[in-house]
């Protein structure tokens, strides 16, 4: 498809490459055939560069890599279990931006974020520098214009981290940028969603899906020719040029609710191992699609808690979906009967679950009351604080509290609405709408803002 001369001024974000170099084992050189042959028992095997690998290899006999790969999985699980209690907060100043809804790590020090005020920006977690990214604009005049102040609700990177998908200047449209330069690639603004895009998931490097407030799910295929070049196209005025595309397929979820506004697609999660796409609607219905070419339905079921289901995540290790509602996290394994859905109470006040993520068997829960909780799915209990050395002990042992990371105050605009309707309350908890881990660096980025829709403010922090 020929690109259309539409766009905004080019702003490149400095691409900071991660300093992660992989090492390979060097095998022993073969004998040259001269001189006496050494006995076989004197030949040395190639040593592994890690002491942990050596000790574990000695324990299992070093006959195969199965034991070592299993041990590496145990190490990752142990890290996921022990890291939260070691994290310490360092808040980041975002100025007057309003409520961060979405975030993703770009590299070891940069995070891309989207806000309610429809701002796409990259923040350097070391220096605090913020770089705004121009939004992609629809071609011509859209008949169904998006409502103001709805913002960017989703940001997702494809598996190879070469493309980024998010909302456009019109939040009904799907914008795709090339990484690491963040040059515009294409904009899905033709014959698609009639309301805000609330969720995005990549199924491959060139196939993405988007879920909308209008209750539709759209399938998009990117033409590799539009982003295969290393230099972005520009028109005579020096503005970047991007293609305007339409979805390959659009499906509408079943409207079983009496209130049409509750049928919106709030979250998507894709299983690369099982090649299936999960979605959750705000009224608590879970959908599963298997045929990715046509998005034909595979499963439809009702979750046990139906109020404010706003987030969804998937664990490849456990083959388990988790959906967050107003007071619970519901777990669903598509391989099991639908009646086997079980739920975890994650109530912190009455503010609900706002963000979820899996790592190994640990699920991180961002609440609407400004705190992070951590749940061990295998042990079926929350992570607990380390037992203190105080004398506050019961006959059954030291009392251990649920591990909870409480986030800072962030920034809140002290306007008339805050004064008139909230009595000038200064210490207002922030809803944690988004969080994302950088596991190689053992860092956690958390962001959000005040939960009431009328309040203007933000929170962002690096936990490390």
DSSP E strands, 172-264: 174-178, 183-188, 197-202, 207-212, 216-221, 243-245, 249-252
Distance of alpha carbon 162 from its chain centroid, rounded?
16
Residue among 102, 120, 108 nearest 460 (CA)? 102
Q: Which residue has the higher pLDDT, 82 or 171?
A: 171
Of 278, 275, 371, residue with least CA distance to 333: 278
Largest pairwise CA distance in the chain? 94
- Over residues 359-417, the pLDDT tens digits come to 989 999 999 999 999 999 999 999 988 764 444 555 555 557 889 999 999 999 888 88
β pairing state of 320-324 and 311-315: antiparallel
C-alpha 114/C-alpha 169 separation (Å) is 12
The pLDDT mean for the chain works out to: 79
Q: CA 288, CA 95: separation in Å to the nearest integer?
A: 40
Tell me, what's the pLDDT at 150? 82
The pTM score is 0.80
pLDDT tens digits along 6-32: 544 444 444 444 433 343 334 444 433
């Amino acid at each position: 498809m020929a690109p259309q001369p539409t766009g905004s001024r080019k702003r490149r974000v400095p691409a900071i490459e991660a300093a992660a170099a992989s090492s390979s084992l060097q095998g022993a050189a073969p004998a040259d055939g001269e001189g006496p042959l050494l006995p076989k028992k004197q030949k040395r095997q190639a040593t592994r560069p890690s002491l942990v690998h050596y000790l574990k290899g000695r324990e299992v006999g070093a006959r195969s890599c199965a034991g070592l790969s299993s041990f590496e999985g145990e190490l990752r699980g142990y890290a996921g279990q022990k890291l939260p209690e070691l994290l310490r907060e360092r808040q980041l100043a975002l100025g007057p931006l309003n409520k961060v809804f979405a975030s993703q790590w770009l590299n070891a020090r940069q995070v891309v974020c989207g806000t309610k005020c429809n701002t796409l920006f990259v923040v350097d977690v070391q220096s605090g520098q913020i770089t705004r990214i121009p939004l992609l604009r629809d071609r011509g005049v859209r008949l169904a214009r998006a409502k103001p102040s709805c913002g960017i609700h989703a940001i997702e990177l494809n598996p190879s981290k070469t493309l980024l998908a998010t909302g456009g200047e019109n939040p009904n449209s799907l914008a795709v940028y090339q990484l690491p330069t963040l040059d515009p690639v294409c904009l899905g603004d033709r014959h698609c969603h009639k309301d805000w895009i609330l969720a995005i998931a990549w199924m491959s490097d060139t196939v993405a899906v988007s879920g909308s407030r209008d209750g539709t799910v759209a399938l998009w295929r990117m033409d590799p020719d539009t982003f295969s070049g290393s230099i972005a196209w520009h028109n005579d005025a020096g503005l970047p040029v991007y293609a305007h595309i339409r979805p390959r397929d659009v499906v509408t979820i079943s409207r079983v609710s009496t209130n049409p506004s509750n049928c919106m697609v709030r979250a998507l999660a894709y299983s690369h191992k099982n090649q299936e796409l999960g979605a959750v609607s705000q009224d608590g219905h879970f959908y599963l699609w298997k045929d990715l070419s046509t998005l034909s339905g595979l499963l439809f079921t009702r979750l046990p808690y139906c109020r404010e289901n706003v987030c969804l995540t998937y664990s490849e290790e456990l083959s388990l979906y988790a959906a967050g509602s107003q007071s619970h996290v519901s777990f669903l394994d598509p391989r099991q009967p639908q009646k086997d859905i079980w739920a975890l109470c994650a109530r912190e006040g009455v503010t609900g679950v706002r963000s979820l993520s899996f790592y190994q068997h640990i699920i991180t829960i961002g609440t609407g009351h400004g705190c992070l909780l951590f749940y061990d799915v295998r042990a079926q209990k929350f992570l607990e604080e380390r037992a203190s050395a105080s004398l506050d002990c019961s006959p059954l042992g030291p009392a251990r509290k649920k591990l909870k990371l409480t986030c800072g105050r962030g920034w809140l605009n002290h306007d008339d609405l805050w004064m008139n309707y909230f009595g000038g309350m200064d210490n207002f908890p922030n809803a944690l709408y988004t969080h994302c881990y950088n596991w190689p660096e053992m860092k956690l980025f958390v962001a959000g803002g005040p939960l009431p829709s009328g309040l203007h403010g933000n929170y962002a922090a690096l936990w490390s």
